[in-house]
Amino acid sequence: MKQETRVVRAGRDKGHYRGSVNPPVYHVSTVLFDSMAEFLTAGKPMPGKLIYGRWGTPTSFVLADALAELEGGVGCALFPSGAAAVAAALLAFVEPGDHLLIPDNVYSSTRRICNDMLPRFQVKTTYYDPTIGAGIARLIAPKTRVVFVEAPGSLTMEMPDVPAIAKAASAAGAITMMDNTWASPLYFKPFTHGVDVSIQAGTKYIVGHSDAMLGSVTANQKAWPAIDRATYLLGQCIAPDDAYLAQRGLRTLAVRLARHQESALKVAEWLERQPAIERVLYPALSSDPGHALWRRDFTGASGLLSIVLKPVAREKVEAMVDGLKLFGIGASWGGFESLVCPSRAVRTATALDPARPILRFHIGIEAVDDLLADLKAGLDRLA
Ligand SMILES: *Cc1c(COP(=O)(O)O)cnc(C)c1O
User: Could you read off the pLDDT of 308-351 as tens digits, one per residue?
Assistant: 999 999 999 999 999 999 999 999 999 999 999 998 889 999 99
Which one of 157, 204, 238, 343 would you pick to mutate in the ligand 1 pocket, going by the greatest count of ligand atoms within 8 A of its CB? 204
In this prediction, residue 15 has a pLDDT band, given cuts at 50, 70 and 90, of low
- Tell me whether residue 179 is one of the annotated catalytic residues: yes
Ligand 1 closest atom vs CA 334: 15
pLDDT in tens, 172-209: 999 999 999 999 999 999 999 999 999 999 999 999 99
The CA distance from 355 to 309, in Å, is: 9
Which of these is catalytic: 111, 145, 189, 204? 204
Asked if residue 25 has pLDDT above 80, the reply is yes
What is the pLDDT, as a whole number, of residue 17?
75
Asked if residue 118 has pLDDT above 70, the reply is yes
Asked if residue 14 has pLDDT above 70, the reply is no
Ligand 1 closest atom vs CA 202: 7
What is the pLDDT, as a whole number, of residue 19?
82
Which pTM was predicted?
A: 0.97
Pocket flag, ligand 1, residue 140 (CB < 6 Å): no
| Residue 216, Cβ density class (10 Å: 0-12 exposed, 13-18 middle, ≥19 buried) | buried
Cα torsion angle, 142, 146, 150, 156, sign: negative
Would you say how long the chain is, in residues?
383
Q: What is the mean pLDDT of the chain?
A: 96
What is the mean predicted confidence (pLDDT) over 269-297?
Answer: 98
Q: For 113-122, 134-143, 246-255, 340-349, which range has the lowest pLDDT when averaged over its residues?
A: 340-349
Q: Percentage of residues in the chain with pLDDT exceeding 70?
A: 99
The CA distance from 110 to 104, in Å, is: 11
What is the mean predicted confidence (pLDDT) over 81-100?
Answer: 98
Which of these is catalytic: 129, 161, 179, 288? 179
- Other C-beta atoms closer than 10 Å to the C-beta of 217 total 30
Pocket flag, ligand 1, residue 179 (CB < 6 Å): yes
- Other C-beta atoms closer than 10 Å to the C-beta of 72 total 15
- Tell me whether residue 107 is one of the annotated catalytic residues: yes
Q: Percentage of residues in the chain with pLDDT exceeding 90?
A: 91
- Tell me whether residue 316 is one of the annotated catalytic residues: no
What is the mean predicted confidence (pLDDT) over 15-33?
Answer: 87
pLDDT in tens, 352-366: 988 899 999 999 999
Ligand 1 closest atom vs CA 84: 9
